[in-house]
Amino acid sequence: MESADRRIVELLRQDGRMSYTDLGRAVGLSTSAVHQRVRRLEERGVITGYSASVDVALIGTPLTAFVSVTPLDHRAPDDVPERLRGVDGIDACYSVAGDSNYLLRVRVATPQALEEMLATIRTQAEVSTRTTIVLSTPWE
């Protein structure tokens, strides 16, 4: 990928609503050239979509935690992501190397809601969990 394309991707990751004109100024290209490059990046699957960043406290889920999950039966099918897909409050599932099989990022309203979420995860996916609560997020 060319350096101009990398820079465009970097800028759009920071602000997905940045105009083609502003992108062009930032990378030294015309508006139409940037528009074509963005379209090609979308067609190639480099840019897969655009989303909104939200203040999780303002939408009622200020408590963030990372939950490591390990299957209780290591011989069982590896279907943890499918079992947990759609569980309200889990906003990311990462397959990881190390002691655990998956790392979940969860966002909930209260410590009690986290406790209920952990019970749901353990029951629904038949896993053990280890939880780390986020105190603050200096940057993401």
Q: Does any domain span residue 77?
A: yes
Dist. CA 131–CA 140, nearest whole Å: 19
Answer yes or no: do 35 and 60 share one domain.
no
CA-nearest of 41, 110, 29 to 16 is 41
Task: Give the pLDDT confidence score for residue 140 in this predicted structure.
Answer: 82
Number of domains in the chain: 2
Dist. CA 84–CA 125, nearest whole Å: 7
Residues 6+ apart with CB under 8 A from 66: 103, 104, 105, 106, 131, 132, 134
Residue 1 pLDDT exceeds 80: no
Q: Residue 112 is part of which domain span?
A: 56-133
Answer yes or no: do 28 and 87 share one domain.
no
Answer yes or no: do 92 and 120 share one domain.
yes
Model confidence pLDDT, tens digit, residues 88-111: 999 999 999 999 999 999 999 999
- One-letter identity of residue 64: T
pTM above 0.75, yes or no: yes
Residue 70 pLDDT exceeds 90: yes
